[in-house]
Amino acid sequence: MKATYQKHILNFKRPGGTSRGVMQTKETWFLKLSEGEKVGYGECGILRKLSIDDRPDYEDKLKWVCVNIHLGKETLYESLTAFPSIQMGVETAFLSFEANYPFELFPSRFTEGIGSIPINGLVWMGDKSFMMQQIKEKLASGFECIKMKIGAIDFETEIALLKSIRKEFTAHEIELRVDANGAFLPGEALEKLKRLSELEIHSIEQPIQAGQWNEMALLCEKTPLPIALDEELIGVFADEQKQQLLQAIQPHYVILKPSLIGGFRGSDTWIELAENQDCGWWITSALESNVGLNAIAQYTFTKSSKLPQGLGTGSLFTNNINAPLKVNKGFLKYNPNNQWNTDFFNTTKLCL
């Protein structure tokens, strides 16, 4: 078996704003396995400034994986604990290589084009007019769940935007989620959560910065609004530590980004631990290309969650890999009659 990797810079169609800054591009890395005519593709979806494996030796570790691909997926996965996005790439590449078709990793009604996945419509941060434009677009597209990034502009403006939705749509008609990306200070967070709860918000992701277990636990105890942990899960490797985190904070939900938490195996562990203490969960992408998004979507479908998932990111980029994924009226679907653009992997220079 031969393994190669390549870097790809995804360009946003329009800037993606969060409380951590505005993104114009997104770096990602592809891993390709080959043996004779058999191939497998994986994506190492690192998020700079957020992924725990945003390290100077990241590419060196990819080279190491390619040189040592003969060790096999189990040994490689176990050796990559500190590099969860590469774990995800290795895991996916081997699943792809072993599959009958390299882009059908988890055959199901989803890959047959019959089943679909409910997803939320994502509204990026920006000025009031830009955010309102996005909200209108999502509502017009048939989304019944909207997730709005908050925390970067004036809170009163954000409240006004949410109020404008609630004036037209009840909580039964449109589910609203908000994501603060840790933007609130612990001392102000509870009061802001109370304000948000008046608008019948479904939940808030990561209201305060990660690593403040005591403060987050207190918020989860007193909040009138369900809290979902996101960044809090990053860098928590050991199963015992994962369990300690959930027991200490007692969140209402956890949000799983496989590229940030060790792929599907890491996600399975979080799901089991969360369900053991009646904590809900859903899965989101981490701005991967369609290669990673496809793998995550297929995995997600097998979990039979009824909640809207965060998998509507495939249309964000101008230079994504053409894929059979399509968003229609708030659902992600897979059309097996459409083809993947595998020429991309043949024409792009591969590094060893």
Residues noted as catalytic: 149, 257
Distance between CA atoms of residues 95 and 103, nearest Å: 9
Cα 228 to chain centroid, rounded: 14
From 44, 41, 81, select the one nearest 63 (Cα to Cα).
44
Q: Helix (H) and strand (E) counts for the chain? A: 11, 13
Q: In what order do the strands lie in the sheet with 117-118?
A: 117-118, 331-334, 325-328
Say which amino acid occupies 285: S
Please give the backbone phi and psi of residue 152, each rounded to the nearest 5 degrees, phi first.
Answer: -105, -30
Structure letter (DSSP) for residue 335: -
- What are the tokens at 47? 């998020």
Q: How far apart are CA 351 and CA 4, in angstroms?
A: 6
Distance CA 105, CA 201 (A): 35
Nearest to 92 by CA among 78, 106, 111: 106
Tokens of 19: 């409380």
d(CA 99, CA 250): 38
Chain centre to alpha carbon of residue 290: 12
CB-based burial, 202-241: b 16+ in 10 Å, e otherwise: bbbbbbbbbeeeebbbebbeebebbbbbbbbbbbbeeeee
- Rounded CA-CA distance 7/66 in Å is 14
Copy the structure tokens of residue 29.
């890395």
